[in-house]
Chain A
Amino acid sequence: MTRRFRNLFFLASAAGFAVFYLWGLHLLPGFGHYPGPYGDVLNALSVYERHATDVITAVNFDYRGFDTLGEEFILFTSVMGANLLLRKQKDDKEEDPPLDLARDRLAPPTSDAVRVAGLALLLPIVVFGIYTVTHGQLTPGGGFQGGVILASAPLIIYLCGDYENFKRITSHVVAEVAEAVGAGGYAVTGLISFIFGYKYLQNFIPLGQTGDVFSGGTIALISALTGLEVAAGIVLLMISFFRQTLVYRKPGEERGDHHA
């Protein structure tokens, strides 16, 4: 297809698609008129049945926890997949990354002020991440959000211009094991329910006092495992990309900053 023909062909089809889609959309109950009943039932049940005040977390890790298991494994599989696709190949040679990666980051070199500010941010980020993971059943947050926040801690170190330190605190092997433990732990938690004669992923831990950090039974456990998996998974993903960008070189290929 020539470009011109393709564009015309697409525009005609897209117009048809848009009209058709809008035809369906305009019959929805309308914005602001949620029809129920699923969400309303759970809004009413979750605090009593699961001692979880954040219904979204209760849905994510319990009522529809099986979806989240699949979702965690999507993340897990993709990280493995990206690892596979960005693996070191026979003709790749490793090169020590330069100390100043300014050009590679497409940004001006980091000043000491930025460095200090970044490192000062680090502790609050880690604390906030852990808080978010552990209080998922009570306030907005949970394993997924907290995990992503935790994963951003090493990124801050990198953004402060220090790939060496980034490498030091983010061991590939540790991240790999942590990710597998997080994802596998989720699946195993479900299997443990069988010991108690329950269904897969059924709660087997006392529910505790509503509003307590250790309330919510398995929700808290699964949330923590998810946090581990997500944090490790995103760090692994970043390591794969960093390595490909900063470390692996083909013969005859030099770093961009020599010629910029």
Chain B
Amino acid sequence: MVVMQVTILIFVAIAGGAVVFTRNPLNQVMGLSFFGLLLAIMFFIFQAPDVAFSQIVVGAVVIPLMVLLTLIKLKTKEQSKKNDA
């Protein structure tokens, strides 16, 4: 049990760092989604099933989806700007 706890904590630390240090938002959102999943697993391991439930849906689906939609919109804007130029 302790080994699992230590492992997941270290994974979370690394994944969190990876999210920050990924500069390309598109890659970053994949990282964020993965990070959200890791957090959910962590909540399960630390006896917080209720929180894990929410985290899976919010952290791994809702938030990445919102970010993706935003990125798409930004991309469309970028392209229309190029057209004008």
Contacts and interface: CB of A to CB of B under 8 A. Distances in A.
Do any beta carbons of A and B sit within 8 angstroms of each other in the complex? yes
Interface of A: 54, 56-57, 104-106, 132, 140-142, 144-145, 148-149, 151-152, 155, 234, 237-238, 241-242, 244-245, 250, 252-256, 259-260
Size class of the B contact interface (CB-based, 8 Å): 20 to 34
Given A106-B68, A241-B66, A245-B69, A256 B75 contact: yes
Contact of B72 (A106, A151, A234): A106
A106 B50 contact: no
B57 A152 contact: yes
A241 B62 CA distance: 12
B53 A141 contact: yes
A76 to B, nearest CB: 16
Contact of A256 (B70, B76, B84): B76
Interface of B: 26, 49-50, 52-54, 57-58, 61-62, 65-66, 68-73, 75-77, 79-80, 82-84
A238 B62 CA distance: 9
A256 B62 contact: no
Which of B52, B72, B82, B83 has the most C-beta atoms of chain A within 10 angstroms of its own C-beta?
B72
A240 to B, nearest CB: 9
A145 B72 contact: no
Contacts of A242: 69
Nearest to A57: B50
10 contacts: A105-B72, A106-B72, A145-B53, A145-B54, A244-B73, A252-B80, A252-B83, A254-B76, A254-B79, A260-B79
A145 B51 CA distance: 8
B26 A241 contact: no
Contact of A144 (B54, B62, B65, B72): B54
B68 A256 contact: no
A127 to B, nearest CB: 16
Contact of B77 (A132, A241, A253): A253
Contact of A241 (B52, B70, B76): B70
Nearest to A241: B69
10 closest residue pairs by CB, A with B: A253-B80, A140-B49, A148-B57, A145-B53, A241-B69, A245-B73, A56-B50, A256-B76, A245-B69, A140-B50
A256 B61 contact: no
A54 B50 contact: yes
A5 to B, nearest CB: 20
